[in-house]
Amino acid sequence: MRYRFALGVMLIAQLVAGVAHADIKLAYVDIQRALNECRNGKTAKADFRTRVQRLEGQLVGEQNQVQSLKEQLEKKGPLMQPDERQNLEDEYQRKLSQFQDDYKNSRDELQQRDNEMTGEIVRDIAVVVRQIGIKNGYTMVLEKGSLLWGTANIDITDQVIRAYDAMNVKAGSLGAEADSGGGGPAPGDFGSNAAGGRPSASDSMPMSGPSGGGDDEGGGRSTISK
């Protein structure tokens, strides 16, 4: 983070030196807030929550079966015939393994979908920011997450959200057009911190994993699951 900030300062200093005799106009955008508050972001978030609830319901049912078999082994196992106890132990191990696999696959599925949803909308926002930047003569539009401080009057997040919603387009369509050469920045030109790295669905899957522990992989990354 310290390296990124230092690099950003150097780039801005070079920019300022290069346009010393021109007016410099800067702005910044809060990507996480734009994701949360734009229409496509709200729709994507609702869809994501539905997926989470469906997968959680499935996993809770499997977890309950595993727990029930474990309790049977502990209470009745010592009284069972060896072959009966072995059959119960085999069933328990099979159900536990299935639950562990399904839990991992569910987490992976949610993380992939989170990444896809976030990436689509961030690329759209990048196009909108570029359009606003050109129209209003901004020298540079920064991401709030890369700033230590900035005055509120150069925060154009609300303007970006209004402009994006007014277009009434399908999520990802603006970014796809830019990717195909239809104008706008490439996906990595803006919001790379928001769209890159490993996505996090951990706060949307609060139940404990097979080992009883949870994790938080999201860090400070912008994501539709927040």
pLDDT in tens, 9-29: 444 545 554 554 458 899 999
How high is the pLDDT of residue 193?
Answer: 46
Q: List the single range of 26-40, 78-92, 177-191 with lowest mean pLDDT.
A: 177-191
Q: Which band of pLDDT confidence, cut at 50, 70 and 90, is reported for residue 211?
A: very low
Nearest by Cα to 142 from 194, 71, 198, 213: 194
Say what the pTM is: 0.71
Long-range contacts of 16-20 (CB under 8 A, 24+ apart): 19/139
Rounded to a whole number, what is the distance in angstroms from the first to the last CA of the chain? 21
> Which pair of tokens denotes residue 31?
């990507």
Q: Average the pLDDT over 208-220 and give the result.
A: 47
- The 10s digit of each residue's pLDDT in 82-121 is 999 999 999 999 999 999 999 999 999 999 999 999 999 9
- C-alpha–C-alpha distance, residues 125 and 194, integer Å: 11
Length of the chain: 226
pLDDT at 102: 95
CA 45 to chain centre: 10
Tokens of 52: 């989470």
